[in-house]
Amino acid sequence: MHDNPGPAATHVQKTMPATFPLALAVWLAVVAAVLELVFRAAGYLWFGRMFRAGLDALWMIPISNLIWFGSAAAVLSLASRRWPQRVSPQIVVTVLGFVLFAGLVWLFPNLHKKASTILALGAAVQAGRMAASRFGAIDRRVRQTVAWPIVAMALALVGVIGGRWGWERWRIASLPQPSQASSGPTSIVLLVLDTVRSFNFSLYGYEKPTTPNLERWAERGVRFDRAFVTAPWTFPSHATMFTGRYPNEMRMASLRDVGWKHRLSKESPTLAEVLSSNGYATGGFVGNLAFTSWEYGFNRGFVHYEDYTVTPRTFLASSVIGRRLTDSERVKRLIGARSGFSRRPTADITKSVLSWLEKVDGRPFFVFVNLFDAHGPLFPPAPFDTLFGPRNPRTRISSDLEFGEGAATTRERMSSYDGAIAYMDQQIDLLMKEMQRRGLLENTLVIVTSDHGEHWGDHNRFSHGNSLYRQLLQVPLVFWHSSRFPTATVVTDPVSLRDLPATILDMVGVQNRGRMLGVSLAGHIKAAGSAQPSERQAGSPILAMSENVDVAKLVSIIADGKHYVIHAGKEELYDADSDPLDTLNLVETPAGQAALPAFRATVDSIKRADSTRRRAPATSQ
């Protein structure tokens, strides 16, 4: 008698098959994905918010959702077999509905966590009650149509991956034939080490051996001892390296997530666009997903641009549900994402570069690489995590040092910073050696530089983007080529990375036609070691500037052996030759007072040019 489940239990078993939770999970995973994709697309197109994904999101988000919905559904399905009287359709819809509604409210990060949880739970309870009274019709419809979302996910997967493969092959095949120089067209590799200042390179005399491999490669080419970026943070600095324009010369469409976020307008042609139009296969590979992804416009002109890649960890966190469920230090360590999801490790990038180079069909190539390991939070891989000091046990970014952490912690973090630089140095060496083994370096111009430096307590600052002192502006700059340069050439003139794109076009023999502003640095190389002043040294000043939500407008000018800085309306002046760390302010000295009028006149000319540009009509963004 006790073995008889009774009429109530029999009714539940008939009306709710154990497969119902799984079928419903499939549908809800796709519904949640569609709603999230629409929300994110609308935010990007109309409200200037970051999309934070590539085309793979079309299949990654629904399949990632399926893991989370499916996990809950599997538990419910097993429970319904074990306790059929207790696991009712209402409970199933309530639980899976909570996952759905939680994902929707999590799309609004400003909502309080507890409030959003209560809101999602309330909506799920109401959905469960409504579904209980209509369960028969819902069950039939869900199970009859469960194949539809499965087919949709499969089509998205095949369409994105297959479409990308076909599109890139077609793009490369349709490129114009490059002009033929006597030795063939020169390929280009531009390596940008994000957040790396030259003061921490042993190549520039740093006491720790952070760059032994780059020292050997630099013997084959040219080292610039005083190279300066045009801005103290990633986006405007990269934008200058791609266009030859100072930050104030570019129109930027705003992205409103944070005050620092902008999108490069189509008004400024990019280096990749110019090279692509001259027959170059162009490939971009970035580690900094926070500021160099496609949303910022840096992918323009690239046949292939890798930012948001597919890995197990990015797959799990591709949907808003996945991001919330994996947003803990314990889970991040478990899935290998301790330093967060907004970066790619350098080792992954070098593998991608080598893989892509196999597909360029013998064409000259332009490879742009952004390496992000020296940006906080700092977790270089072993053995580099303990190469110069104890392993960094912390997870917060370096700017947290502003809030009371002491000198010991600064040394600890800086050891991790140096270890990250040494790690990138090793990876660059591996990339160069493999390219050399494949015969790809014979006629390739390689450039190593950075987008900005880092404060480590100097000037009472940490991190970057918050000053225009030389710790943020002075970066490494090295060129090498198998036969182009005299060996071990050193340029001591101050130079600006604003001139980098014009220099690249000049060195590979591509006509600029005024598309890249600035002048070629070839004159500096020729003048190295001679008594003749180079064009830049005798003429234009070195400019840098920044304007963001945290800092009032900043201007830096290096000219006539002096470094002039305006910070929040305050003038500072340093000797650019004898005071590389900007420690002794000369503003109140007689020499400083005599130098100020010329710098003020330069600032006035910048302001007048800015005013003229603001009045000019904008072109398409």
Whether residue 332 lies inside any domain: the answer is no
CA angle at 360 for the pair 359 and 365, rounded to the nearest 5°:
140
Does 423 score more than 90 pLDDT?
yes
Whether residue 167 lies inside any domain: the answer is no
Going across the sheet that includes 554-559, the strands are 542-546, 554-559, 562-567, 570-575
Whether residue 325 lies inside any domain: the answer is no
Proportion of the chain in helix, strand, coil states, percent, rounded to 5: 50, 15, 40
Measured in degrees and rounded to the nearest 5, phi and psi for residue 278 equal -105, 20
Highest mean pLDDT of the ranges 174-188, 217-231, 547-561: 217-231
Is the same domain home to 103 and 207?
no
Q: What is the DSSP string of 527-590?
A: HTTSSSPPHHHHSPPEEEEE--SSS--EEEEEETTEEEEEETTEEEEEETTT-TT--S--TTSH
Is the same domain home to 125 and 241?
no
Q: How confident is the model at residue 590 (pLDDT cuts 50, 70, 90)?
A: very high
Residue 604 makes CB contacts below 8 A (sequence gap 6+) with none
Is the same domain home to 53 and 187?
no
Evaluate the omega torsion of the peptide bond into residue 377 and state whether it is cis, within 30 degrees of 0: yes
Which residues, in sequence order, are bridge partners of residue 193? 371
Domain C-terminal end among 161, 185, 220: 161
Which residues, in sequence order, are bridge partners of residue 474? 228
Provide the whole-model pTM: 0.90
Which residues, in sequence order, are bridge partners of residue 479? 222, 447
Three-class SS state of 491: strand
Does 355 score more than 90 pLDDT?
yes
Whether residue 68 lies inside any domain: the answer is yes
Residue 544: the pLDDT is 94
* pLDDT tens digits, one per residue of 237-293: 999 999 999 988 876 554 443 334 567 878 889 999 999 999 999 999 999 998 999
Is the same domain home to 428 and 577?
yes
Q: What is the chain's length?
A: 621
Identify the CATH number of the domain in which residue 571 sits: 3.40.720.10
Residue 377: the pLDDT is 86
Please give the average per-residue pLDDT across 583-593, as a whole number.
Answer: 97
Backbone region of residue 279 per phi and psi (left: phi > 0; alpha: psi in -120 to 50; beta: other values):
left
Nearest Cα neighbor of 606 from 551, 552, 562, 541 is 541
Domain C-terminal end among 113, 139, 161: 161
Encode 357-371: b = buried (16+ Cβ within 10 Å), e = exposed.
Answer: bebbeebbbbbbbbb
Token pair 């409103």: residue: 256
Whether residue 224 lies inside any domain: the answer is yes
Is the same domain home to 186 and 154?
no
Whether residue 335 lies inside any domain: the answer is no
Is the same domain home to 278 and 189?
yes
Token pair 């893991």: residue: 67
Is the same domain home to 375 and 458?
yes
Does 547 score more than 70 pLDDT?
no
Domain C-terminal end among 135, 161, 187: 161
**CB-based contact 380:409 (threshold 8 Å):** no
- Residue 60's domain comprises 6-161
Measured in degrees and rounded to the nearest 5, phi and psi for residue 44 equal -75, -45
Is the same domain home to 139 and 183?
no
Residue 558 CA to residue 228 CA, distance in Å, equals: 9
Does 572 score more than 90 pLDDT?
yes
Is the same domain home to 113 and 222?
no
Residue 580: the pLDDT is 96
Residue 14 CA to residue 455 CA, distance in Å, equals: 68
Residue 389: the pLDDT is 87
**CB-based contact 573:596 (threshold 8 Å):** yes
* Token couple for 228: 């300066």
- Helical residues (DSSP H) of 219-310, grouped into ranges: 234-243, 271-276
Residue 200 CA to residue 193 CA, distance in Å, equals: 12
Is the same domain home to 396 and 490?
yes
CA angle at 47 for the pair 43 and 52, rounded to the nearest 5°:
40
Whether residue 170 lies inside any domain: the answer is no
Whether residue 107 lies inside any domain: the answer is yes
**CB-based contact 56:80 (threshold 8 Å):** no
Domain tally, the chain: 2
Q: Where is pLDDT greater, at 301 or 395?
A: 301
Token pair 């478990």: residue: 334
Highest mean pLDDT of the ranges 44-48, 397-401, 403-407, 466-470: 466-470
Is the same domain home to 515 and 401?
yes
Is the same domain home to 299 and 222?
yes
Q: Where is pLDDT greater, at 428 or 112?
A: 428
Residue 422 makes CB contacts below 8 A (sequence gap 6+) with 209, 210, 211, 380, 384, 387, 388
Q: How confident is the model at residue 109 (pLDDT cuts 50, 70, 90)?
A: confident
